[in-house]
Chain A
Amino acid sequence: MFSKNSGVSTLTLAMEAILTALDDAGLSLDDVDGLATHRVGDSTPPWVVAPALGLDGVSWYLDQFGGGSVSHSVVGQAAMAVASGVAGTVVVYRAINARSEFRMGGTGRGAAPVFDAQYQAPYGYFAPPQQFAMYARAHMNAYGTTHEQLGAIAVRQRAYAVKNARALKRDPITLDDYLASRWIAEPFRLLDCCLETDGACALVITSAERARDLAQPPVLISGAAWGGGDSFFSGVPTDFTVTEAARMAPRLYAMAGVGPEDIDVAELYDCFTYSVLVQLEDYGFCPKGEGGPFVESGEGPPVNTHGGFLSEGYVHGVNHVAEAVAQLRGTAGDRQVAGARVALSTAQPGYVLAGTSALILRGER
């Protein structure tokens, strides 16, 4: 339904449009596992709409930046998601109050960049180190995870960065250095936090057949998975110690035909030390709650062999994929993991009302 003043939020418009389309198709929300939209700062993204609808187990999402120029690209990408098998039924929506709230190029007012900010920012809670510190504290409360265990992650990753000429931080650190670094937001210290980095990183994706004729050894994408994220909405799980990665990982491993025991090297999204710890649990390297002792023991595959976002630099994840590729090609120099054939590379595991995604890559050496 169109109007000049809907009187409702773009979230409501999105939910009504989705329910109407499903009803028309003779489907229900239980049939939907993909959600896609596009926005220019004027609407509500899939990971807010999904939990608001009580949509469970989203296996593909798309939040494309853009206005009218990308509307059909969203449909095309949804078709690719279905054709590749990562999603069975995708709903594409676009929900705007483009007359009464957010006019194109008009009032200068945009929709809130994140839905939950209005309930958090007035209390001085808005920065990622604060948000992930809140999640880490919940893990400490539930499982007795310690500062020293978080520190073990920072120290080990720095040791890798020492061997990485591209890394921004190459001075070795000890656990004492970690414990002496200043508080940012308890329980996080400075050395729990990734670097703020200027940089760029790019990947070339083509067919395996074509890749085999090119200048570098190919690395194959064996698995790719998407997942919904956590939620600030009541009515869906609100346990900060379990991320969406836990629900997504079985899909990812199944697509690649491997399990955690087959991973030779893991590049795990490390915006903060804690996100590594929780992903070691949620990707099945150790049981839930045992991430602390696990990182202290040094068990499991080598993790963040370039130093990660904590010590190499933070390009929001694409540098993780690039490091996995280097390891699988055998070009990682002093930090090369001997015989690495299968790598896991992950995105943010789904905190802060975001989705998640991950790749399993395979070398051909």
Chain B
Amino acid sequence: MTRLDPDRDSAPWWAAVDRGELLLQRCASCGVPRFPARALCNRCRSRETAWVPARGTGRVYSWIVNHQRFLPDLPVPYAVVCVRLDEGEDILMYGNLVDAAPEALAPGLPVRAVLRDGLVQWTPA
């Protein structure tokens, strides 16, 4: 599938993905990492922020294996994972499981990010 239009908060994040970099925002005031991108820290409400590299590692929180052909050009089955990043329990990213079969999926499975074709995918670490 193709990407959707970024919004004005997310455009720098997607631009970094295109360069092969996985970024997070970090509040310049309280230091808490945050995702997805936005202008205000929802903990300390500071507007000061910086982009920092993400470690690109996390653990599988939940997943689905999709069988229904919702779109004609999308081959099935495929797995979608929801990953809790190692930077913080509250940072969730979605992506496909790549270079592994869905049978490998288990709660808490360590995974690492694979930046491919302008998307962030996940594979067992």
Whether a CB of chain B sits under 8 angstroms from the CB of A294 is no
Interface size class of A (residues with CB under 8 A): 35 or more
Task: Tell me which residues from 95 to 123 in chain A have a Cβ below 8 Å from any Cβ of chain B.
Answer: 101, 109, 111-112, 115-123
Which of A7-15, A259-267, A284-292 is near enough to bind chain B?
A7-15
Q: Is the CB of B32 within 8 A of A52?
A: no
Alpha-carbon distance between A124 and B89 when the two chains are bound, in angstroms: 24
Judged by DSSP, the binding face of B is loop
Whether a CB of chain A sits under 8 angstroms from the CB of B48 is no
> Which of A120, A183, A233 touches B42 (beta carbons < 8 Å)?
A233
Alpha-carbon distance between A124 and B38 when the two chains are bound, in angstroms: 24
Interface size on B, residues (CB 8 A): 51
Whether a CB of chain B sits under 8 angstroms from the CB of A1 is no
Given known contacts A9-B9, A141-B62, A119 and B93 CB-to-CB distance under 8 angstroms: yes
Closest A residue to B89 by beta carbon equals A238
Given known contacts A112-B5, A123-B80, A184 and B38 CB-to-CB distance under 8 angstroms: no
Contacts of B121 in A (CB 8 A): 123
Q: Is the CB of B8 within 8 A of A12?
A: yes
Question: 1/0 contact trace for A49-62 toward B, CB 8 Å?
Answer: 00111100000000
Whether a CB of chain B sits under 8 angstroms from the CB of A187 is yes
Question: Beyond the given A52-B40, A125-B80, A126-B70, could you list 9 further A-B residue pairs with CB under 8 A, ordered by the A residue number?
Answer: A9-B7, A125-B66, A134-B64, A134-B80, A137-B63, A186-B67, A233-B38, A235-B43, A240-B61
Q: B residues touching A (Cβ–Cβ < 8 Å)?
A: 1-10, 14, 32-36, 38-43, 45, 61-68, 70-71, 74, 77-78, 80, 82, 84, 88-96, 107, 119, 121
